[in-house]
Amino acid sequence: MDMDIYGEDMDLKTNAKWKKELSQKRNMSSHDSQSEGDTKIEPEVVQPRKKWCSINSQLQHDQVLHDLKCTREMIVIEREKNLLEFEKESHRLQIEKLKLEIDILTKKNS
pLDDT digit of tens for each residue in the chain (110 aa)? Answer: 455 555 555 555 566 666 777 777 777 765 555 555 555 555 565 555 556 677 778 888 899 999 999 999 999 999 999 999 999 999 999 999 999 999 999 998 87
CB distance 10 to 3 below 8 Å: yes
- Please tell me the distance from the alpha carbon of residue 83 to that of residue 56, in angstroms, as a whole number: 41
Please state the pTM of the whole predicted model: 0.42
Check if the beta carbon of residue 25 is closer than 8 Å to that of residue 47.
no
